[in-house]
Structure 1
């Protein structure tokens, strides 16, 4: 079983570097074009269907991908929704760091809950679509925290994921494993993650 976690296309708040969270901001023109362009990259992947978070920016991205790839558009999964950032939603990211340096944002969903929710979503998708290759359109923080929970690393050490980046997870030997992160092989990235955890600079091979 292979699930590719795809970050949705660009929104105006992405462009303005504002925190989105659960706020339902739609794709902008660039985001829709990013989805159409990504379909060309995904065309040879043998994907069977596309599912998504219920937020509009993820759902529209999924619709564009399914239409362009000529594959089934599946349902939405609440577990794929973005982390709730409470009072920080709509606030410029640089301002968030100044106002809440300890990440004690009022109304924010606990970080630890996000990765667990992502893992539950993977299980739900796999249970409903066994042995299929699935594109799951979700959100940057949700994807990073899910991958980090699987690999045992700190999500803050994972690289930022671009819009329409693809991160594959595979179910092998009764467990999920991270295969790629933003299109980069996990085996290439793991030394960088370990170095960041140790507090030393790291340079990715290649």
Structure 2
């Protein structure tokens, strides 16, 4: 039997709504975010979970604790620092429009290759994978043939999924999305062999996504003029 990993993004925050860079900025869930996560908790209430892991940020810890409630005291939340979100350095707290206006050249370079290029004082995708991927592999090893839940972040989740499935992670921002409180399911036959069974599912609080262009992805997704 494969090991099942429920990989979740935290619920929405006030900064999510404002579309600000907030990887290393610690913010709580918004009321909307809590409702999203409570709906997901109801959805996963009957899943037999062996453990729950979370990034140390307030929004992920709160998400994990809400998801843990239906499973009783025997399933507690374990904190893993390496699962935290990308640190956006001196872009933290700024909107994308502000970053483009103030640091245009730097932002353009990052847009071309966010896997290897980082904002000043921030992290590249490679650096995030270097710390987060070994933790996921260890979790899978520790819970062989079990089921675990990991609460993480938008960028970190996309990088992990790209790497685990053997995709070119340079395109993680262009080709993969992660909505607030999204559910992903991966089954592992070994710590390095994963199959994606469910991706970015938010049916616990939202219907089928519309087909509008997303301004929260890269310029690759901008409407053609």
Common fold by TM > 0.5:
yes
Gap runs ≥5 in structure 1: 185-198, 200-206
Say whether residues 1:10 and 2:27 are aligned partners.
Answer: no
Aligned to 1:51: 53
| Mapped partners of 2:8, 2:146: distance in 1 | 16
**CA displacement at 1:131 relative to structure 2:** 3.0
TM-score, normalized by length of structure 2?
0.74
Contact 2:8 2:183 in 1 (8 A): yes
| Mapped partners of 1:178, 1:79: distance in 2 | 23
**CA displacement at 1:146 relative to structure 2:** 0.8
Aligned to 1:165: 182
CA shift in 2, pair 1:155/1:178, >3 Å: farther
Aligned to 1:83: 86
Gap runs ≥5 in structure 2: 111-117, 203-219, 221-225
**CA displacement at 1:140 relative to structure 2:** 0.4
| Mapped partners of 1:156, 1:61: distance in 2 | 23
TM-score, normalized by length of structure 1?
0.81
**CA displacement at 1:2 relative to structure 2:** 1.4
| Mapped partners of 1:160, 1:97: distance in 2 | 21
**CA displacement at 1:178 relative to structure 2:** 4.0
Secondary structure of 1:101's aligned partner: helix
| Mapped partners of 2:12, 2:176: distance in 1 | 18
- Cα deviations by residue, 1:183-204 (Å, 9 ceiling, x for unpaired): 39xxxxxxxxxxxxxx9xxxxx
Say whether residues 1:64 and 2:82 are aligned partners.
Answer: no
Matched length = 185
Deviates further, 32-41 or 81-90: 32-41
What is the 5 A alignment of 1:73-152?
73-98=76-101, 99=103, 100-103=107-110, 105-151=119-165, 152=167
| Mapped partners of 1:11, 1:174: distance in 2 | 32
- Cα deviations by residue, 1:39-72 (Å, 9 ceiling, x for unpaired): 1222343333321001111001100110134361
| Mapped partners of 1:124, 1:97: distance in 2 | 38
